[in-house]
A and B are shown apart, each in its own frame.
Chain A
Amino acid sequence: MKNPQLLKGLLEGCILKLISDGETYGYELVENLKKYGFRDISEGTVYPLLIRLKKNKLLNSKDRESPYGPKRKYYSLSEEGEKELESFYRTWRELCNVIDLIFKDYEGGEH
């Protein structure tokens, strides 16, 4: 995906979803996103988004011991985070429907 602004917003939604599946930390989250197909993602992209989500009180965080020495920050969804996730998904579905309708008779991508 080339558009950074668009990607940022979508990534935030995906991060909320993955965190709602279970408490997780930065690197694990990145690996998960990669597994789903966001191949160019790194902690450098995800970390600022986590800060913003936390700053907006959508995430809680907890430091836990890690086998590597420094403590790891584990993230979980706050109540507001749950609401934001629902609202993101609703908006996304609506958008998908609209875009599918608009592009129904489009064949440019086939070539």
Chain B
Amino acid sequence: MGKLDDLIRKNYELSKKLTPENDEIYTNIVCYLRTSGMDELEAEEIIQDILGMMLEAQKRGEEIEQVIGNDYRAFCDSVIEAAHPKRFSWRKLFSDLEIVVIVISLLWLLDIIFFYLPQMFKQGRLILDFQVSLGFLINTAIILLASVLIVKYIGKTSFKDSKEKRQGHKWRQFVLLWVIISCIIALLGLIRYKLNPFVFFSVKMYYLAAVFAGLYLLLRAVKEKLPVN
């Protein structure tokens, strides 16, 4: 376990002591800071400090507004500005690459489950050759891009969101989200099947699994060694 995972777990455990109202504010702050482009370890240390402030205020019987004001977003912005995150850092690059490797491995696993397993059952034999096709690559690219955009969107709107929920837009949002997700899944399925014949190369699944695992461990090891600043 690295220092970062340790801190995230500790913060999570401590955050259970927050009252429901404070927990909602805390969650929004965490979302905003984690997607701010700050170094992830630095962001987590700041989250720990803020959690400490909130818990101590709670113990003193004070409202959060008395501690950090009622404009949580402005508070977060002033914190982010003070930490002035660098546009580029090797640590950030490696942690982004780590996420990319995890996402690609997961999508690969899903592809095996939804695309290869049915074929294996149909043909009654084990298939160990994975065919890297145009359909798989395009789908992977689309999902990666969509994930990044969704995370950025959640971060940017983290303080607006909770207000809208209270105004009763919850249902409409849910239905809209459901329709969009269904369309995307249908589109992805179409791309996957239509563009499957365009195969670039084929590779044994166990080699690919070893490559993904090795790459992940390597990126993680390098990231741990890099200094925060």
| Interface set of A (CB-CB < 8 Å, partner B) | 26-27, 42-45, 47-49, 51-52, 55, 66, 68-73
Are A49 and B56 within 8 A (Cβ)? no
Q: Could you tell me the dominant secondary structure of chain A's interface residues?
A: helix
Task: Flag whether B49 is at the interface (Cβ < 8 A).
Answer: yes
Contacts of B83 in A (CB 8 A): 51-52, 55
Using known A-B contacts A44-B75, A48-B78, A55-B83, determine if residue A70 contacts B68 with beta carbons closer than 8 Å.
Answer: no
B150 within 8 A of A: no
Total CB contacts across the A-B interface at under 8 A? 57
B53 proximity list for chain A (CB < 8 A): 26-27, 43, 47
CB contact list, B43-71 vs A, under 8 A: 46, 48-53, 55-56, 59, 66-69
| C-alpha gap A48/B48 in the complex (Å) | 14
A68 close to B79 (CB less than 8 A): no
Q: Which of A26, A48, A52, A70 contacts B51 (CB 8 A)?
A: A70
- Alpha-carbon separation in the docked complex, A60 to B21 (Å): 33
The answer to whether B59 touches A48, judged by C-beta atoms less than 8 angstroms apart, is: no
Q: Give CA–CA (A33, B4) in the complex, Å.
A: 34
**With known contacts A26-B53, A47-B49, A51-B46, A42–B68 Cβ distance under 8 A:** yes
Q: How large is the interface on B (under 10, 10 to 19, 20 to 34, 35 or more residues)?
A: 20 to 34
A71-B79 in contact given A42-B66, A44-B68, A55-B84 (Cβ < 8 Å): no
Q: Which residues of B contact A45 (CB under 8 A)?
A: 69
A80 to B55, CA, bound (A): 32
B17 interface residue (CB < 8 Å to A): yes
From known contacts A44-B69, A69-B17, infer whether A52 and B82 are also in contact, taking CB-CB under 8 Å: yes
A26 to chain B, nearest CB (A): 7
Extra A-B contacts (12), CB below 8 Å, given A45-B69, A48-B75: A44-B67, A44-B68, A44-B69, A47-B49, A47-B68, A47-B79, A48-B78, A48-B81, A49-B82, A66-B52, A70-B14, A70-B52
Q: Which residues from chain B contact A42 at a C-beta distance below 8 Å?
A: 66-69
Q: Which 10 A-B pairs have the closest CB atoms?
A: A44-B68, A48-B82, A52-B82, A70-B52, A51-B82, A48-B78, A44-B69, A68-B59, A44-B75, A43-B67
16 pairs of residues in contact across A and B, judged by CB atoms under 8 Å: A26-B53, A42-B68, A43-B67, A44-B69, A44-B75, A47-B68, A47-B79, A48-B75, A48-B82, A51-B83, A52-B82, A55-B82, A66-B56, A69-B59, A70-B52, A71-B52
How many Å from the CB of A77 to the closest CB on chain B? 18
List chain A residues, Cβ under 8 A from B14.
Answer: 69-70
